[in-house]
Structure 1
Amino acid sequence: MQNLPRQFKQEQGTFFGIPLTHITYTSSVIPIILIIWAQSYIERAINKILPKMIKGVFAPVLILMITGIVGVLLIGPIGTGLGNILGGVITWLNQFAGWLVSALLGGFGMFIIMAGGHYALIPIATQNLAQVGFDNLMMTGLLPGNMAMAGAAFAIAMRTKSNGYKQYSISAAVTALLGVSQPALYGVAIPIKKAMTAIIIGGFIGGLYAGIVGVKGFALSDPGLAALPAYISPDGSWGNFINTLITMVIAFGMTFALTYFGSYEELSQEEIEEITVNQ
């Protein structure tokens, strides 16, 4: 654990004599998720205990105070410990089976994004760039996942009969190609389960290829078309860049084909309106 980024290291302080763990919450995810989960129980307990007459005034104050204390003293350190373990496992696995990590991130990275866990990969990628000059974790694994979501979104745009959803899907596909996959994730992958299955398959195969040939990123960016210069090797060779393009074609093409030629059931008008209403 000596090589963990600074924000994963534990620095001791005290709170009325109780040891504290210093946590940089802006670059951590698991502690925040756990604190919010605990707050839901604290809020229920406070609302049951306080009389209705004073609940509106004192409940928010007590919930915030208790959550803050419990979070700083207990839940935050537990979450940081879990994050340390997760980061250590990913780093260890990446050293001995990088191809597997790339394949798993390519196929199942969207679930990590849903949980906000992709932010936990950024410090590891930053450390890799600082120590060895390249990143073969986030920049390698999330790239095929983004391309797979773009492929699915483009296929749905060609199959849907709704003009509004067609425009949304095209926009989501373009943003995924550029490295921002959330619109395709929440507007296509989650509502259409068969598209999600295609994304998993296409992203996994693309990530597997990227891991086997050793695709690397030489600068930190959102993995996508806009980040292509980051995959050009500093020594001037083009092998890594070409393999990056092949990875993108595999993930995008396979997912597009599976989604376009597979069975498709149009979403209801209510579902489409719910997805596109804020677009």
Structure 2
Amino acid sequence: MTDYKALAKNILDEVGGPENISNMTHCATRLRLTLKDPSKANDDKIRDMDGVANVVNKAGQYQVLIGTEVPKVYDEFEELVNNNGQAQVATSNEKSGSIITNIFSAISAIFAPLLPALAGSGILRGLTILAVQLGWLSESSGTYAILNAAAMSVFYFLPVLLAFTSGRRFGASPYLSALIGAALLHPDFIALLGNQGNGATTSFMGIPVVLMNYNSTVVPIILSIWAFSYLYKFLDKHIPETLKLVIIPLISLVVMIPLTVIVIGPIGVYGGEGIANIVNWLIERSSVLTGVVVGGGWSVLVSFGIHWAVNPIMINNVSTYGFDYIVPFTFACNFAVIGTTIGVIFKARNKKLKGFALTGLITVALSAIIEPTLFGLLVKNKKLFLAQIIGGAVGGAYLGLMKVVTNAFVFGSVTTFPAFVTENSSNFIQAMIGLLISLVVSAILGYIFTNKDDQLA
């Protein structure tokens, strides 16, 4: 069993200690650090630690690949860093790197804590739809209503959840942030929409308000809490300690909720819909080309740790439209990784290499975590990396041609197949064909590109 505290301490020692860290966060699999002097980090020693799969230093971030246990390591790491007798290290929106670095860091910090809830809800939604299609469950039954509520609540209340994680990321009170998100979903506010929906109007103290339905939205609340963080820090700095308990919440709610519904919210809704519409328009115009690019290139984005920039688009599509075209392409990438490992297993003679490939196959198939295999095998062998990219591109092209979608934002593995269950019964079948194509093509190429005497580098 991994000693997370010891691992965290060892990593901290080898990156130059607490005084060398200006910002820290984590995503689903990586500890993400902004180092004042990256040259102080000992990549080789960190990479050789038990519990560390690899080290990547890209886009101004020092990324330590740990896997799904990263939250436990991060908790220990954060405690060690902030209890070292110095000023606390930033975990919010400090300008500790380039704009691009800060954006990627913010996206990963905001969405990473919600991924289990999003994935679990998506799978439950798929299983519920499947039960209805098989005649095991009636849509008019109480059982269906309860299961549907369990599956869809994470999407309906997404503004509240994102408000909380955004508050933590941007340095505002997460609880006040959640209240701002909750106000947008209050029945009295939604009732103002009447039968018109988005675009209905009302007024606030004589100021015209264009109303929006904010359930399942992503962009508006993130923008709102980002703005709120500046107000919160200003109030926290200037209001006497004895008055903070009452005055900060009062001013925060009175200022931010009207500001959100009058200005920030509509901009966020239209902006988010605009971005999603552009992406979906491109997919509709050339779904095959999109499948080739995303299916083949997704592992490249993952290797640089910048795939988080695309995840919010997929989440927004699912929460807004109930489906997404991009998620299937990420499945194609993952199953191409599986296929490549199969080719290696059948061709290689070295037991250590075969064992590593088998472990990678099982890991991706069950948990959708490709980084250990990506960095431990594919990046080190460019031919195998090419085999995986080609397999993902070919499978992605088929998925794009067939307009395959998922009903949820999930990571691509065997356990997340229910995400392909939709009202269109052929969607699941076409998805399985596309993923099989990715697997077979990459397996054949992986077999061809593997030399019998290859060893695990």
TM-score band (shorter)? 0.5 to 0.7
2-structure distance, mates of 1:241, 1:232? 6
Displacement after TM superposition at 1:140 (Å): 1.6
The number of equivalent residue pairs is 219
Aligned to 2:440: 253
Displacement after TM superposition at 1:93 (Å): 3.2
Aligned to 1:75: 98
Aligned to 2:288: 99
Q: Are the equivalent residues in 1 in contact too, given 2:335–2:392 (CA < 8 A)? A: yes
Q: Are the equivalent residues in 1 in contact too, given 2:283–2:290 (CA < 8 A)? A: yes
The C-alpha deviation readout for 1:139-181, integer Å capped at 9, x for no partner, is 1211111011101111112222222221111110122233221
Aligned to 1:36: 34
1-structure distance, mates of 2:450, 2:39? 46
Structure 1 SS opposite 2:34: helix
Task: Tell me the TM-score normalised to structure 2 length.
Answer: 0.42
Q: What is the one-letter code of the residue matched to 1:194?
A: K
Q: Which has the higher contact order (CA 8 A, sep 6+)?
A: 1
Distance 1:36 1:135, change over 3 A: same
Q: Percent identity?
A: 21
Structure 2 SS opposite 1:36: strand
1-structure distance, mates of 2:39, 2:87? 9
Q: What is the one-letter code of the residue matched to 1:170?
A: L
Aligned to 1:127: 316
Aligned to 1:21: none
Displacement after TM superposition at 1:128 (Å): 0.5
2:235 maps to 1:238: no
Q: What is the one-letter code of the residue matched to 2:37?
A: S
1-structure distance, mates of 2:101, 2:376? 33
The C-alpha deviation readout for 1:164-218, integer Å capped at 9, x for no partner, is 2211111101222332212221222112211111111111111011111101000
Aligned to 2:208: none
2-structure distance, mates of 1:185, 1:251? 16
Structure 1 SS opposite 2:323: coil
The C-alpha deviation readout for 1:213-250, integer Å capped at 9, x for no partner, is 101000221112111111011x2x32110110011111
Q: Are the equivalent residues in 2 in contact too, given 1:106–1:141 (CA < 8 A)? A: yes
2-structure distance, mates of 1:185, 1:42? 25
Distance 1:152 1:70, change over 3 A: same
2-structure distance, mates of 1:175, 1:100? 29
2-structure distance, mates of 1:148, 1:140? 12
**Range moving further from structure 2, 106-115 or 255-264:** 255-264
Distance 1:62 1:265, change over 3 A: farther
Cα-Cα RMSD: 3.7
Gaps of 5+ in 2: 1-24, 41-84, 108-218, 220-270
Structure 1 SS opposite 2:329: helix
**Range moving further from structure 2, 154-163 or 211-220:** 154-163
2-structure distance, mates of 1:203, 1:147? 7
Aligned to 2:344: 156
Gaps of 5+ in 1: 1-24, 44-59, 272-279
Distance 1:42 1:245, change over 3 A: closer
Q: What is the one-letter code of the residue matched to 1:146?
A: N
2-structure distance, mates of 1:190, 1:77? 24
Q: Are the equivalent residues in 1 in contact too, given 2:347–2:450 (CA < 8 A)? A: no
What does 1:1-279 align with in structure 2 at a 5 Å threshold?
36=34, 39-40=36-37, 69-71=94-96, 75-76=98-99, 79-80=102-103, 88=275, 90=279, 93-94=282-283, 96-137=285-326, 139-178=327-366, 179-233=368-422, 235=423, 237-262=424-449, 264=451, 266-268=453-455, 271=457
Q: Are the equivalent residues in 2 in contact too, given 1:110–1:145 (CA < 8 A)? A: yes
Distance 1:164 1:41, change over 3 A: closer
Distance 1:265 1:196, change over 3 A: farther
Task: Tell me the TM-score normalised to structure 1 length.
Answer: 0.66
2-structure distance, mates of 1:241, 1:69? 44
Instruction: Give the greater-gyration-radius structure (CA).
Output: 2
Displacement after TM superposition at 1:254 (Å): 0.5
Q: Are the equivalent residues in 2 in contact too, given 1:150–1:184 (CA < 8 A)? A: no
Q: Are the equivalent residues in 2 in contact too, given 1:100–1:208 (CA < 8 A)? A: yes
Q: What is the one-letter code of the residue matched to 1:180?
A: I
Q: Are the equivalent residues in 2 in contact too, given 1:140–1:216 (CA < 8 A)? A: yes
More helix by share: 1
